[in-house]
Structure 1
Amino acid sequence: MRRHRHAKIIATVGPASSSPEMLHALFLAGVDTFRLNFSHGTQADHAKVHAAIRALEHEIGRPIGILQDLQGPKIRVGTVAGGRLDVVPGEVIRFVLDGDEGDKGAIPLHHPEIFAAVAPGQELLIDDGRVRVKVVGLTQDSIDAEVVIGGVISNRKGVNLPGTLLDLSPLTAKDRADLAFGLELGVDWVALSFVQKPADLIEARALIGDGAGIMTKVEKPQALERIDDIIRLSDAVMVARGDLGVEIPHEDVPGRQKELIRACRLAVKPVVVATQMLDSMVSAPTPTRAEASDVATAIYDGADAVMLSAESATGRFPVETVSMMARIICRTEEHKLYRSLISASEPGEEETPPHAIATATAGLADAVGAAAIVAYTLSGTTAARVARKRPAVPILALTPDLGTSRRLCLLWGAHSVRADEVSSYEEMVTNAVAHAVEEEFAKPHDLVVVAAGIPFAVAGNTNNIRLAQV
């Protein structure tokens, strides 16, 4: 079953989409990777969905990626008297470290790391910035803040602190339990929320090892300050525009999105654009024109994948939303300006032999009008290096590793197939041609370009190109 598009679709599973029948319908509509959001639902709920996806994978005979998205250290106020407090600009309110149900003079904020890090003049954003306050005084266990933008503070609303580096692990006790559970299930990707610094990735890697790919969600200004190191330590990156758009000015988000996509392409790491892409389709059967343009912009920028959140998790039209996203991707990639825009946004070259081979592979395939590029890959790196060039020719990624084939469901342009290991050069070429025909990429007399690393079964060793005719 071949997708006739390059960019991939991630869909979040929730109450609207968790049944085996709906998962099947969503896959047929275009989902390449399913996201399990561990901010909601129980472990038992997610285990049922995981089992249903793996059963679907076996039924259709195609790898399907599963992304576990950890909740992370979400900072929230506690409970307040009457369930809500109305605050107005100019008044001074107080947050306290201890206490249960509070009022304007003692709003519970049970996060000691905030009291240790915050300074006068800094801002706290409550409920995604709907309420904004500025710190005017503090002690070890209290913060006095002047209301800048008034509104309602209700129970358990989130708090953001733009510009404040918190001494906070990206993995809470709940996250660690969920992570162990997800790795036992066999998820393919783990998304880390609220990453602030490279050390957060090192901490996560110590727990995850090679059990799954690590996807960093970029949603903190502090992460942007060390983004090159963070990308280097990640296996993939998500441009999580929801929380990022709360902590940096809205007008800066589009530029940051382009910067992150470009940086990830340069580093050969898949990059996902997420949050509110087709948000109106939560309750309507069609998107707004602006939303369609938003998805198209991510595709023109060269993103590997675009993601649906509430649209597929709780929305009324999950299948229609996936179909719409697939159509937008296809129409964008068919547009006459697509190739020129993709080429114009190409990052600089990495001066290494493996990258040079991958660049030559893509160039040769385009030059001879090849039907496909066949990339033999153990870890996925060879396919990723070829995909970095965003060739017009489809990429058939052959790997003996099932986990790699599932993770490649996120990679731009890659049609991943689990294939037996090869032991000789001629067997490599013969198998490449056979798979290209079997997967309906090539027909008799077509040319295919084969990229591989020799000796075989050595990860990341891209050093060989072969042009073959069917």
Structure 2
Amino acid sequence: MRRHRRAKIVATVGPASSSPEMLEALLLAGVDTFRLNFSHGTQSDHARIHAAIRKLEQDVGRPIGILMDLQGPKIRVGTLRDGKIAAVAGETIRFVLSGSEGDRTAIPLPHREIFAAVAPGHDLLIDDGRVRVRVAGLGDDFIEAKVIVGGTISNHKGVNLPGTVLDLSPLTAKDRLDLEFGLKLGVDWVALSFVQKPSDIIEARGLIGDRAGLMAKIEKPAALERIDDIIQLCDAIMVARGDLGVEIPHEDVPGRQKELVRACRLAVKPVIVATQMLDSMVAAPTPTRAEVSDVATAIYDGADAVMLSAESATGRYPREAVEMMDRIIRSTEQHKMYRSIVEATQPGEEQTPPHAVATAAADLASVVHAAAIVAYTSSGTTAARVARKRPSRPILAITPSREVSRRLCLLWGAHSVLSDDVQSYEEMVERATTFAHAEQFASSRDLLVVVAGIPFGQAGTTNNLRVVSLP
């Protein structure tokens, strides 16, 4: 079960992949973390899948990460009398707060927070941006808007407001019920949708505590304006390029992706690149060349993980999509340009002893051609500090926490194993040697670079570095 690549694969589970047989096939094909999308399916469906993944984990003897993705608020138009209207560029249409059925003079938009926050000049994007209208005037319960890009507006289509910060919690009543359910199941990560500001993370953290890692989905322009604060407050980031690409110009998405990956590396937080990575494989057994390049770009950027959505959830070729992603990652990481590109995008060094020790471990392992870097980590922080450097040597992360070992399934380069706490230097060396042999990272006369925190078992203290020669 050792992966011969550094970047991780996240796969969404859905009707095409929810059977125990297919989950096992996807794991063997390369999945490191499974995503449960709570926008679809029932709680009992997710409980059944969760149980199947945990049984699979027990069968293979390797930790498997489980990410629950909350639905978040959904802003939609209401019901139209004829089911749809054709909005023509240049005309003026009206949205109203209340009304059971509407027409072009009274399109229901039953979201009071929009009427409270929107201002003249703000844009509303309907149906993933296919229709764009601009606010020309408004009252307490109506919005007059000029159609900028025409098209069809039909019942219950989604609405995006890229220039408007809404006074809206990212956690709906459904999300709160789902969140408590998922935490009781024992999910490892919670992805929070509709993040606009740092206080959204604080609100979610108050409910989650330390029961799971908190991941912020970056899909709103407002989040980009406060991104440094958001990254500091959460445990990981997802670059949700689908919704983000609706709300900012398409051509800005690649640059923003690179900025987010770099910012997360600097902050020592895992970052996932998501959405439409191999989208054509929903219906075809092979991807387009552009999709292959897209996945490779995320790997060259230094992303911790790349994610499959519909490809593995509802597509016709879920296993083939995972296999293809695995092959792209391995090929990219083995390319002669990979090291120079990743090293050229290194974030600046953190001027603290723990970061300096972790950086020294990565550099030392390369200089002495060590077989692996062994990181003793009670919270995952030591392993993350080493991974931040994107070292050329694999990282064997030894942790006493089952929860941490599962969360490390998202961290670049980390192969986590579960072990009791060590109590002495001698035990640290002995256990590093044993696991390096057992997990096929090293053999006789190889060198290991061992990094840990003293006293052992105390989170966040990366202060000790050893070079060990295997007998």
Question: What TM-score comes out, normalization by structure 2 length?
Answer: 0.99
For 2:36, the equivalent position in structure 1 comes to: 36
Query: What is the deviation of 1:85?
Result: 1.4
Q: Provide the rounded CA distance (Å) in 2 between the counterparts of 1:397 and 1:91.
A: 61
For 1:348, the equivalent position in structure 2 comes to: 348
For 1:97, the equivalent position in structure 2 comes to: 97
> For residue 117 of structure 2, what is the amino acid of its counterpart?
A
Query: What is the deviation of 1:82?
Result: 2.5
> For residue 304 of structure 1, what is the amino acid of its counterpart?
D
Q: Provide the rounded CA distance (Å) in 2 between the counterparts of 1:49 and 1:102.
A: 41
For 1:208, the equivalent position in structure 2 comes to: 208
> For residue 33 of structure 1, what is the amino acid of its counterpart?
T
What does 1:417-428 align with in structure 2 at a 5 Å threshold? 417-428=417-428
For 2:121, the equivalent position in structure 1 comes to: 121
For 2:162, the equivalent position in structure 1 comes to: 162
Q: Deviations over 1:65-119 (max 9, x none)?
A: 0000001112111111222111111121111111112111111111111000001
Q: Provide the rounded CA distance (Å) in 2 between the counterparts of 1:77 and 1:193.
A: 20
For 2:174, the equivalent position in structure 1 comes to: 174
> For residue 199 of structure 2, what is the amino acid of its counterpart?
A
For 1:267, the equivalent position in structure 2 comes to: 267
- Are residue 465 (structure 1) and residue 441 (structure 2) matched? no
Query: What is the deviation of 1:154?
Result: 1.2
For 1:242, the equivalent position in structure 2 comes to: 242
What does 1:296-445 align with in structure 2 at a 5 Å threshold? 296-445=296-445
For 1:448, the equivalent position in structure 2 comes to: 448
For 1:150, the equivalent position in structure 2 comes to: 150
> For residue 55 of structure 2, what is the amino acid of its counterpart?
A
SS at 1:133's partner residue?
strand
Stretch deviating more after TM superposition (347-356 or 142-151): 142-151
Q: Provide the rounded CA distance (Å) in 2 between the counterparts of 1:44 and 1:267.
A: 37
SS at 2:307's partner residue?
strand
> For residue 318 of structure 1, what is the amino acid of its counterpart?
P
SS at 1:409's partner residue?
helix
Q: Deviations over 1:116-149 (max 9, x none)?
A: 0001111100011000001111110111111111
For 2:225, the equivalent position in structure 1 comes to: 225
Q: Tell me how large the CA RMSD over aligned residues is.
A: 0.6
Q: Provide the rounded CA distance (Å) in 1 between the counterparts of 2:212 and 2:100.
A: 39
Q: Provide the rounded CA distance (Å) in 1 between the counterparts of 2:248 and 2:437.
A: 49
Q: Deviations over 1:181-236 (max 9, x none)?
A: 00000000000011000010000100000010000000111001010000000100
> For residue 394 of structure 1, what is the amino acid of its counterpart?
P
SS at 1:349's partner residue?
coil
For 1:189, the equivalent position in structure 2 comes to: 189
SS at 1:27's partner residue?
helix
SS at 1:277's partner residue?
coil
> For residue 322 of structure 1, what is the amino acid of its counterpart?
V
Q: Provide the rounded CA distance (Å) in 1 between the counterparts of 2:213 and 2:42.
A: 22
> For residue 119 of structure 2, what is the amino acid of its counterpart?
A
Identity %: 76
> For residue 320 of structure 1, what is the amino acid of its counterpart?
E
Q: Provide the rounded CA distance (Å) in 2 between the counterparts of 1:226 and 1:85.
A: 37
Q: Provide the rounded CA distance (Å) in 1 between the counterparts of 2:16 and 2:433.
A: 41
Off by >4 Å, runs of 4+ in structure 1: none
SS at 1:246's partner residue?
helix
Q: Provide the rounded CA distance (Å) in 2 between the counterparts of 1:338 and 1:412.
A: 15
Q: Deviations over 1:269-323 (max 9, x none)?
A: 0000000000000000000000000000000000000000000000000000000
Q: Provide the rounded CA distance (Å) in 1 between the counterparts of 2:416 and 2:101.
A: 53
> For residue 70 of structure 1, what is the amino acid of its counterpart?
L
Q: Provide the rounded CA distance (Å) in 1 between the counterparts of 2:429 and 2:255.
A: 43
Q: Provide the rounded CA distance (Å) in 1 between the counterparts of 2:74 and 2:229.
A: 23
SS at 2:82's partner residue?
helix
SS at 1:430's partner residue?
helix
> For residue 437 of structure 1, what is the amino acid of its counterpart?
H
> For residue 463 of structure 1, what is the amino acid of its counterpart?
N
Q: Deviations over 1:309-350 (max 9, x none)?
A: 000000000000000000000000000000000000000011
- Are residue 60 (structure 1) and residue 60 (structure 2) matched? yes
Q: Provide the rounded CA distance (Å) in 2 between the counterparts of 1:176 and 1:192.
A: 11
> For residue 465 of structure 1, what is the amino acid of its counterpart?
L
> For residue 18 of structure 2, what is the amino acid of its counterpart?
S
Q: Deviations over 1:226-259 (max 9, x none)?
A: 1000000010000100010011111110000000
Q: Provide the rounded CA distance (Å) in 1 between the counterparts of 2:128 and 2:48.
A: 32
Q: Provide the rounded CA distance (Å) in 1 between the counterparts of 2:181 and 2:344.
A: 43
Q: Provide the rounded CA distance (Å) in 1 between the counterparts of 2:383 and 2:349.
A: 16
- Are residue 9 (structure 1) and residue 3 (structure 2) matched? no
Unaligned runs of 5+ in 2: none
> For residue 177 of structure 1, what is the amino acid of its counterpart?
L
SS at 1:237's partner residue?
strand
SS at 2:145's partner residue?
strand
Q: Deviations over 1:143-192 (max 9, x none)?
A: 11111111111111110001111101111111111000000000000000
For 1:276, the equivalent position in structure 2 comes to: 276
Query: What is the deviation of 1:64?
Result: 0.2
For 2:288, the equivalent position in structure 1 comes to: 288
Q: Provide the rounded CA distance (Å) in 1 between the counterparts of 2:304 and 2:320.
A: 21
> For residue 8 of structure 2, what is the amino acid of its counterpart?
K
Stretch deviating more after TM superposition (417-426 or 268-277): 417-426
